[in-house]
A = this chain, B = another copy of it.
Amino acid sequence: MGFDARVGDILTHLDQGLDAALARLSDFLRIPSISTDPAHAGDVRRAAEWLAADLGALGFDVQIHDTPGHPMVTARSQPGDARPLLFYGHYDVQPVDPLELWNRPPFDPAIEDTPQGRVIRARGASDDKGQLMTFVEAFRAWKAVHGSLPSDLILLFEGEEESGSPSLRPFLKAHAGDLRADLAIICDTSRHADGRPAITTQLRGLVGQEVVVHAADRDLHSGSFGGLAANPIMILAQALAALKDDTGRVTLPGFYDGVGDLSPELARDWQALNFDAGDFLGRVGLSDPIGERGRTALEMVWNQPTAEINGIAGGYAGDGFKTVLPAVARAKVSFRLTGTQDPAAVRQAFQDHVRRFVPADCRIDFHDHGASPASVMDIADPAFGTAKQTLTQEWGQEAAFIGAGGSIPIAGDFKELLGMDSMLIGFARDDDRIHSPNEKYDVESFAKGARSWARILAALR
């Protein structure tokens, strides 16, 4: 590790090759690799082959692995004595509906000048082909300057990320020996809202639970039975309402076991982000944070666990009114987890809680929907400090360690199945319209993204 004198040459090479790199990205974007649509299965494979050919030409040892779904592309550089790093991205893209809202054909990329700067517009430009290619362009420039690839790299590019990654975990298990590295580097996230580079160091986990309360064996008339027979909606409402106390804290016994306060270092970084909760909520028509009193807004979404009701249904909720006392009511509830909260313990505590509200003559069914712990990276790993410092140099803005309120399953999978942390660095912007019509990627994101990887590689190799 340390400063590599030739990094300047690599950055110059990247700058001079930007138009060629954008042309390559455009070729890649022309392949409509929509993984959810079986009609595009051939295109998804074509994208895998395009990528494999490009990596092979660079000198990687490339393999296309068939799966029950779409192929996995893996590539390795020559072994050496450096710390093994695994780079992850995905080459599949979201569907393009509604097509009529696009200003140009989604698979006919173009460079556009906009008031916010130059962008490349196409489906997948930001999520994730453009980001993935920041890796590849950095490797290409390294090769051009050094004559050979950096050693000890493993690349893993997936074709099913937008369709739930059904083949990923089996693949990781089957190839664990080949894929295990010291650290995974994932390029599928965004810069902070103000444009500064960011390294996501913690992701909340998730427990999903469906609850179905059964009362009478049929819908009843609320005149004949109201006040006498159990109402499953009321039972559910009472159980769910009691999940939180007046201060916004979740009431489940033991729920906060493993939830830690923010370290001073992260607290400083998050404070420096000047996150404006009023502005953030104002964009969706709200204004007031609802989390536990005394917490900052970023703590609420990144470092505090939640209990949310994601859906509820029971009785008659259509037009007009029916005086029905329903047989069944159901809700979907999820918990976002932080620190070392145990998903199984949270699930159990929730089920025990709900059961206390259910009378003896009613029945409750639970359906489990996923359980993953939070991902909390070890930022004492020097790679994190190095990457942060390097990103600050490249972007001229202080890079930040940030959190994420949602889960990124791949990070949890790498931890669970391959035993390694992930360093999540991405250059996308909040306004990239990923998953929506007119997706774009800033040319700045692409160019400085590749330069960022060149610097990070130089510092870590």
Taking a contact as CB atoms under 8 Å apart, the answer to whether A217 and B284 are in contact is: yes
A64 proximity list for chain B (CB < 8 A): none
Is A74 part of the binding interface, using a Cβ–Cβ cutoff of 8 Å? no
Q: Which residues of B contact A360 (CB under 8 A)?
A: 287-288
Bound Cα distance from A225 to B329, whole angstroms: 26
A228–B291 touching, CB < 8 Å: yes
Q: Please, what's the 1-or-0 string for A237-270, where 1 marks a CB less than 8 Å from any CB in chain B?
A: 1101111100000000000000000000000000
Q: Give Cα distance in the complex from A217 to B287, angstroms.
A: 12
Complex: A365 Cα to B304 Cα, angstroms? 31
**Neighbour of A359 across the interface among B290, B297, B308, B407, CB < 8 A:** B290
A228 to B306, CA, bound (A): 9
**A285 in the interface (beta carbon within 8 A):** yes
A461 CB → nearest B CB, Å:
34
A291 close to B334 (CB less than 8 A): no
What CA separation (Å) do A229 and B280 show in the bound complex?
10
A310 to B226 Cα, complex, angstroms: 10
B308 and A313 contact, CB distance less than 8 A: no
Asked whether any CB of chain B lies closer than 8 Å to the CB of A150, the reply is no
Q: Is A326 an interface residue (CB 8 A)?
A: yes
Q: Out of B217, B242, B324, which one reaches A285, CB within 8 Å?
A: B217
- The verdict on A284 contacting B321 (CB below 8 Å), with A291-B228, A306-B226, A309-B315 known, is no
A395 CB to closest chain B CB (Å) equals 23
A323 touches which one: B242, B301, B310 (CB < 8 A)?
Answer: B310
Those of A218-242 within 8 Å (CB) of chain B: 218, 220-231, 233-234, 236-238, 240-242
A311 touches B310 (CB 8 A): no
**A331-B310 in contact given A241-B238, A281-B229, A290-B229 (Cβ < 8 Å):** no
Contact for A311 among B227, B317, B330, CB less than 8 A: B317
Taken together as a complex, chains A and B put the C-alpha atoms of A284 and B324 apart, in Å, by 14
Task: Say if the beta carbon of A437 comes within 8 Å of chain B.
Answer: no
Residues of B with C-beta under 8 A to A231: 290, 308-309
Residue contacts A-B, CB under 8 angstroms, 21 given: A208-B323, A216-B284, A216-B285, A222-B308, A224-B406, A225-B284, A226-B308, A227-B290, A227-B300, A227-B304, A228-B297, A228-B300, A229-B286, A231-B308, A234-B243, A234-B309, A309-B314, A311-B315, A311-B316, A312-B315, A321-B334
Excluding A224-B406, A310-B325, 14 further A-B contacts by CB distance (< 8 Å) are: A206-B323, A210-B321, A222-B306, A222-B336, A227-B290, A227-B301, A228-B291, A233-B240, A241-B242, A281-B361, A311-B324, A312-B313, A313-B313, A317-B331
**Could you tell me which A residues sit within 8 Å of B by CB distance?**
204, 206, 208, 210, 215-218, 220-231, 233-234, 236-238, 240-244, 277, 280-281, 284-291, 297, 300-301, 304-306, 308-318, 320-326, 329-332, 334, 336, 359-362, 369-370, 404-407
